[in-house]
Amino acid sequence: MRSNIDGPGKIGHIAKTNRAADAKLLPDLDAAIRALGLRDGAFLSFHHRLRNGDAVMLAVIDAAARAGLRGLHIAASSIFPVHAPLVRHIETGVVTGLCTNFLSGPVAQAVSTGALAQPVTLRTHGGRARAIRGGELQIDAAFVAAPAADPAGNISGTEGPCAFGVLGYPQCDALFARKVVAVTDTLVAYPAPRIQIAQDHVDFVVTLPRLGDITGILSGTTRPSDKPEDLAIARTAAAVIDASGLLVDGFSLQNGAGGASLATAAEIGHRMTARGITGSFASGGITGFHVDMLEAGLFRSLLNVQCFDLRAVESFRCDPRHQGMSASAYANPRDRGAVVDRLDAVVLGAAEVDLDFNVNVTTRADGVIIGGSGGHADTAAGAKLTVVTTRLTAAGYPKLVDRVGTLTTPGTTVDVVVTDAGIAVNPARDDLADRFRAAGLSPVPVADLHRLAQARAERLPRRATTGRIVALSEYRDGTVTDVVRQV
């Protein structure tokens, strides 16, 4: 063929690019590990939408181990009890590094007792998105558990036996990882329906018999609690939000998926219904309970980073008012701002709260890791009103303490603590205290609640102040705000 110009314009290399329909399809994860050309020390990423039903992460690490890889770094969005077999891979040196936004179960126990030579980095959901987009966390291969995928790698979250709905967490990974593998148990004809991650972000497609156990995927309480002590705290928290003046048309809310947290949302819903208030959005992990609120007209929309139950999946699939969002849109602290920065109120839990309103949701009273921020620190920072609900004691330990075992969420971002023995307002928010008093609520100094908690407690939390550092608690902006030491 002739080129129309000399020099750089050679066109002899130009040919058709049509693909064999299965060009990206690999027979199994072993083939994927080979095709990726991974080396020892590679960073592999995983998302947690399969939660405690996830079979994908271990299947991948097993394959990597079979391939003889060592020194791998797992960049997860969360680790659950189901990931227990990872401990063996840590012991054998296949896995030597871990970063995650939430760490629980046997892997958390192993990390706490020093199984890893290098400290785990615990990030927030928004901090992880920031770290990936900013190049601080460079992922060699992202393995995206995909409820359905087509042979070209288009990924759908709303089809297949493990349809979990919104693919909020892996979107940053898919954009920025060097290589991306869609792992699915439901290979669909091209093009996949309701594509959430498109083929131009995916290198390979691998099928597994089953992504996981759907009952584990949908773990967690997703209906309001009916325990009297939870309902008492919920009523107080709702009264606090109401008294703040934020409960007007356009109101936005995030609350966790626990029974007490949903009870608070239910209380708020009653007040909204009674007064004819229409909120703008509810965000975060979304449950059927939130869908009920949407359909009752209490909110104009839902902004969903992960579905917590099948009703949420079905609503996301069918109702355009129910929109998905990436972890970056949800909580990335970079200068463009995120959904969390538009929240009026967030209702959060706590393992411990201290005299400076700092919150720990990372370690237990005995110092063992039991979680991490997830979106806790992100929403606390973003919301105009951050309400932390907690009982005074749990399992005999005080939950109000001198100083939190691990600082997960800085007290500068926490406005009110609601307990079963009263509420305390951050001294930086005198404006709120005035409003609460005017509304007949009676805030007390946090030291009073602390004193009560200490009096009720049967034992003291253990604090390791020396010893090897097993985890770094990283704030959403990348600052290391605390360390966790070996127990």
Q: Return the residues of window 455-484 that contact its own copies according to CB under 8 A.
A: 475, 477, 479-483
User: Residue 291 in contact with residue 304, Cβ under 8 Å?
Assistant: no
* Residue where the block lists tokens 């990030």: 123
* Nearest CB to its own copies, comparing residues 259 and 333: 333
Candidate list 27, 135, 200, 276; residue touching its own copies; CB under 8 A: 200
| Region binding its own copies by CB under 8 A among candidate stretches 4-12, 59-67, 223-231, 269-277 | 4-12
Least spacing, CB of residue 95 vs its own copies, in Å: 26
Q: Which two tokens stand for residue 420?
A: 């079963």
User: Residue 323 in contact with residue 165, Cβ under 8 Å?
Assistant: no
Residues 45-64, interacting with its own copies (CB under 8 A)? none
Angle at 12 between CA 11 and CA 14, to 5 degrees: 70
| Region binding its own copies by CB under 8 A among candidate stretches 25-33, 60-68, 185-193, 387-395 | 185-193
Angle at 50 between CA 203 and CA 266, to 5 degrees: 130
Binding mask 399-428 for its own copies (x = CB under 8 A): ----xx-xx--xxxx---------------
Give the residues across from 388 on adjacent strands. Answer: 348, 417
Q: CA–CA distance from 8 to each of 3, 253, 339 (Å)?
A: 10, 58, 48
Least spacing, CB of residue 1 vs its own copies, in Å: 5
Phi first, then psi: what are they for 126, rounded to 5°?
A: -70, -35
| Region binding its own copies by CB under 8 A among candidate stretches 27-35, 42-50, 267-275, 375-383 | 375-383
16 binds its own copies per the rule CB under 8 A? yes
Burial (CB < 10 A; 0-12, 13-18, 19+), residue 280, is: middle
User: Residue 147 in contact with residue 159, Cβ under 8 Å?
Assistant: yes
Binding mask 267-286 for its own copies (x = CB under 8 A): -------------xx-----
User: Residue 93 in contact with residue 68, Cβ under 8 Å?
Assistant: no
Least spacing, CB of residue 407 vs its own copies, in Å: 5
DSSP 220: S
Q: How many residues bind its own copies (CB under 8 A)?
A: 81
Candidate list 2, 438, 440, 458; residue touching its own copies; CB under 8 A: 2
333 binds its own copies per the rule CB under 8 A? yes
Using left for φ > 0, alpha for ψ between -120 and 50, and beta otherwise, residue 181 falls in beta
Residues 303-332, interacting with its own copies (CB under 8 A)? 303, 320-321, 323, 325-326, 328-329, 332
Angle at 200 between CA 196 and CA 206, to 5 degrees: 75
Tell me the C-alpha distance between 235 and 54, whole Å.
36
| Region binding its own copies by CB under 8 A among candidate stretches 52-60, 198-206, 367-375, 453-461 | 198-206
* Nearest CB to its own copies, comparing residues 24 and 47: 24
339 binds its own copies per the rule CB under 8 A? yes
Binding mask 23-42 for its own copies (x = CB under 8 A): xx------------------
Tell me the C-alpha distance between 258 and 219, whole Å.
11
Candidate list 76, 167, 202, 307; residue touching its own copies; CB under 8 A: 202
Q: Which two tokens stand for residue 281?
A: 């959005």
Binding mask 129-158 for its own copies (x = CB under 8 A): x----------------------xx-----
15 binds its own copies per the rule CB under 8 A? yes
Helices 259-275 and 288-295, packing angle to 10 deg: 0
